[in-house]
Structure 1
Amino acid sequence: MLEKYFFEILVGLIFLISLLSTLIFFLAKRIQQQSSFAKESLKNTREKEKFILESLDIISKALIQEQCEVSEGCIRIRMLVDKSKMLDSSKKDYEVFFNMYQELKNFKTHEKRNELSKQEIMKEDIDRFKVEEKYQAKFLEAVQILHADVKELL
């Protein structure tokens, strides 16, 4: 009986082997693409994190050297610390960035600030200076800690 169906079985096995070979080839190709994509994604993540840390380093230096307004530095630091995967945004020392930001977030910036009258700008500036004064000591301590943490990671 085997002799009777030998060629049919042989053709069937050859077809099955070629089908499995094709499947293995495409699966290997897909794994290679996913591996390449994962490497590229990891590289992009590392570059983004490095950019965030370098930005935090520059901002913290500017604040320490009093080259930047405290409120502007706070807003920028808060956003970057929140985006960083290497810094723990829930760290007790960083609370001041988030607390101060909560009081600053409603102030007008950029085009919206330019649309305000001079009196409204003056009022916002006075209110902003009060917030800066309220947090300044804790904020500058936190900036020193952040600067040290960032230096350690760079």
Structure 2
Amino acid sequence: MTNMLVSAASLIILGLAGYAGYLLTLLYKQGQRQKAARAARIEKITESIQTIALATVQQQCDLSEASIRLCVLLDAIPVLPQPDYRGRFPALHALYDKVKNLPTHEARAQQNKLERRKMDLSRSEWEAELESQILLEAETLAKFSV
């Protein structure tokens, strides 16, 4: 009777150990998929940053739009700890801070011409003030890697 109980207990323990091993294997595979997805996301964001930066250097993208797109992409890179991109690219972030809250699309269309002209003038002044620094930072970002 005792041998039977020991055998039954051994089978139960062996079954539970096998199931635990199976769950650990599933967990490992899930971790590998997450790592691969994270790496693919980093690669896609990096390519986008390089493309926008190159377009900025070639003056195919205006500075305000570039600052918004580049700052958002830099913040979206899934790395911890997050590097100090604000410190590395201060001109881009300075322009971003000035233009990020300007109305766009429908909100801009609802403003009268004088208000739009004032915003455009301010934006142009900010871009002119920071242009040379932003172009240098864009050259750096055209070769960006994490």
2:46 paired with 1:24: no
**TM-superposed deviation, 1:56:** 0.6
Q: Is the 8 A contact 1:63 1:70 kept in 2?
A: yes
Distance 1:114 1:27 in 2: 61
Identity of aligned residues (%): 21
Corresponding residue SS for 2:61:
coil
Aligned to 2:28: 35
Amino acid at match of 2:88: D
TM-score scaled by structure 1?
A: 0.85
Deviations 1:25-56 (A, max 9, x none): 11111111111111110111011111101101
Q: Is the 8 A contact 2:56 2:63 kept in 1?
A: yes
Aligned to 1:46: 39
- 1:46-125 correspondence runs (5 A): 46-84=39-77, 85=79, 88-90=83-85, 92-125=87-120
Structure 1 gap segments, 5+ residues each: 1-7
Deviates more, 1:64-73 or 1:98-107: 98-107
User: When the two structures are aligned, how many residues end up with a matched partner?
Assistant: 144
Greater Rg, structure 1 or structure 2? 1
Distance 2:19 2:114 in 1: 69
Distance 1:28 1:93 in 2: 46
Aligned to 1:129: 124
Q: What is the CA RMSD across the aligned residues, in angstroms?
A: 1.8
Corresponding residue SS for 1:148:
coil
2:138 paired with 1:143: yes
Distance 1:35 1:111 in 2: 48
Amino acid at match of 1:147: A
Distance 1:79 1:33 in 2: 34
Amino acid at match of 1:146: L
Structure 2 gap segments, 5+ residues each: none
Amino acid at match of 2:127: E
**TM-superposed deviation, 1:97:** 2.0
Distance 1:59 1:82 in 2: 15
Deviations 1:43-98 (A, max 9, x none): 11011111101101110111011001100000000011112239833464312222
Aligned to 1:3: none
Amino acid at match of 1:102: D
Q: Is the 8 A contact 2:91 2:133 kept in 1?
A: yes
